[in-house]
Amino acid sequence: MGDVFTPLDLMIFFAALIGAMVVGLIAGREENTSEDYFLAGRGLPWWGVAGSIFGSNVSANHMVGMMGIGFSIGFAQAHFELGAIAGLMVLCYGFLPVYRKLNLYTLSEYLGRRYDDRSRVAYAIIMVIIMAFVQMVPGLYIGSRTICVLLGGDALVEVAEEVEVVAEDGETAQGVTRTKLDVDFTYYALFVIALAVVSASYTIFGGLKAVVWTDVIQSCLLLAAGLVVAFITFQRIGGWGAMMAIDEGAGGADKMSLYLPMDHPDLPWTGAFTGLMAMHFFYWGTNQFIVQRALGARSDSEGRIGIVAAGFLKLLIPFFAIGAGIAAFYLFQKEMPDRAVDPDAAFSELVKLVIPVGYGIIGIIAAGLIGAILSSIDSMMNSAATILTMDLYKPYVNPNATDKELIRFGRLSIVALVVMAALMAIFILDPNSEANFFLQLVDYQNYLSPGVLVTFILGMFWRRATATGSIVTILSGVFFSWLVEWGYNNFASGYPGIVEAFGPKLAFFHRVVFVLLLCFVIHIIVSLMTLSDSEKSRLVWTDLGGHAPGTLVNSFGMILVSIGVYALLGWVMVSEMLSPTVCGVLGMIWTWLAFSPTVVHHKRQRQENGASPVAALLIEDRFWAAILCSMAVFMLYHYR
């Protein structure tokens, strides 16, 4: 069956996926209340939270897309993983205490309580669009495309195309004809339908608990698949050190630099620390299908530990996905010089090139990849259905709905969403696109998210924020996203200095920064011009989190000082006064110092409650958060 699958591979593949589905259906077989169905009865352990957050985030879009960008652009893509640690910390210690204190089903509920129903409905609509169409549709697309490439045979059609090849001097280029394998549309459509049906089956009947347990299993499969592919790939090229040596000899065409020029069209270093960081705050802190897992945790502590544990898993991705993509680029040049490979097909082609056939390894890899697809699609189905049910159906259609009616509507919502997503994946997306689909996905999402992020931040940390300011900001964010891009692309050419700094076309990370600033200004001005509600103004971080106002001031002060320290170390590194590794170590030390007061304080509290000094430290989530952040900071300097 195809080019690489053997009967053993197929047996392992189907056994793994069917096993995960059965576990999910068994886990969710007794979901009798809406809380059971949508929040797993608020009984998830920390490892369930961690596995589900990781599995929901790291879909095939991530696995295949990250490797594709590593293949085509380079290690700068690691900013998506390293910056995610900051986003997870904002969720863990900023937003989550407020969400859990209010016993929310959805984040829309927070906006409804803090502002009014206008903001609640606007957020609900935006998030359903993001989850169902910006996230779920691409998941079906990339999953089906990858299956077709791995399957081979009639699922692929060979075509010839002329491409430019960069010579060894890194400057000149020549046109050559290479063969390329395109995906057959019929097979592509069939696999889109198959993925949609499989993922919907256990999600519809099992609810969040089924989603979480299958996510945990599928996360393990994904990690196993990614690590196996990376290990064999690096072994084939001579190891990580050999790849670094090849990259150093590539001159201006090197791919291991973490920082690309400010005018880079996709991943400028300035955008990585501004617009991308803001995107992380939105994705991890205000995104229903991520936060819902932490809302289902059995306690605040288990929710925080699960979030931190998911962060450690995220730090593996730069090596087994992005780094392996870079290794694939050099390996293909050496072993397949006449084959043109699209970025989104790099993973599948790499598997076919380096993985030995007949040992079941490809079956494990395929199960991990498809499991990653299913774990993200099922999460988005469940979260979108939760929003439609709790924020639209119950308040406006059937206020007196019973739990059974809510669950039934949630299930019908999943059916409708998956049908629409499958049709869009089949008839709108091109299964043979040559673009970096992961970056396109992020770009689309960032047209909708800036206003939402500003509304959450000001609502949670500024008492004076008003309902009118919120809805105006959410709607303005979408308009400003279009306006800023249109204005720059049409008028910036008249200002050479600006074009030299930001490039002829505005990178979407830079666009996000300008839009965010405009949204902050709009929200503040409108709020100051309108009356605030004294009761709603109490739904902020200091009151709901049990913190004194001085704690917030001190926290922001430490963040600003830390940014200054990290910037100073960056300047020292760029000036070559100290090596990147030394700067990374100093950054780690500062991170530890920044975390130490709160770690010591909470450790003492645990000791007062009877824990031994060692146990109090090991079960303290802030201790592990300090280690996680220190590792991320070190990588930001070491891989300059």
Q: What tens digit of pLDDT does each residue of 414-457 get?
A: 899 999 999 998 998 888 776 656 666 677 778 888 999 999 99
pLDDT band, residue 357 (cuts 50/70/90): confident
What pLDDT score was predicted for residue 252? 65
Burial class (CB in 10 A: 0-12, 13-18, 19+), 204: buried
Report percent pLDDT > 90 for the chain.
Answer: 30
Helix H segments across 252-322?
A: 269-272, 275-285, 288-295, 300-314, 317
Cα–Cα distance between 278 and 308 in angstroms, integer? 19
3-state DSSP assignment of residue 157: strand
Cα–Cα distance between 528 and 408 in angstroms, integer? 43
What pLDDT score was predicted for residue 6? 78
Question: pLDDT tens digit string along 537-551?
Answer: 999 888 886 677 777
**Residues of CATH 1.20.1730.10 domain(s) within the chain?**
1-435
Cα 466 to Cα 94, 469, 527, distances in angstroms: 20, 5, 5
CB 365 within 8 A of CB 324: no
pLDDT band, residue 1 (cuts 50/70/90): very low
| Range of lowest pLDDT (380-394, 442-456, 545-559) | 545-559
Q: Which residues have C-beta within 8 Å of that of residue 48, sequence separation ≥ 6?
A: 212, 213, 216, 293, 306
Question: pLDDT tens digit string along 113-162?
Answer: 999 999 999 999 998 888 888 778 888 888 888 788 777 778 888 776 66
Q: What is the DSSP letter of 429?
A: S
Cα–Cα distance between 177 and 340 in angstroms, integer? 9
3-state DSSP assignment of residue 583: helix
Burial class (CB in 10 A: 0-12, 13-18, 19+), 427: exposed
Tell which residue, 433, 477, 481, has the closest CA to residue 455.
477
Please provide the size of the chain in residues. Answer: 640
Sign of the dihedral defined by the CA atoms of residues 94, 96, 97, 103, in that order? positive
- Fold of domain 1-435: Sodium/glucose cotransporter (1.20.1730)
In the block, tokens 């600003």 appear at 560
Bigger pLDDT: 523 vs 446: 523
CB 370 within 8 A of CB 59: no
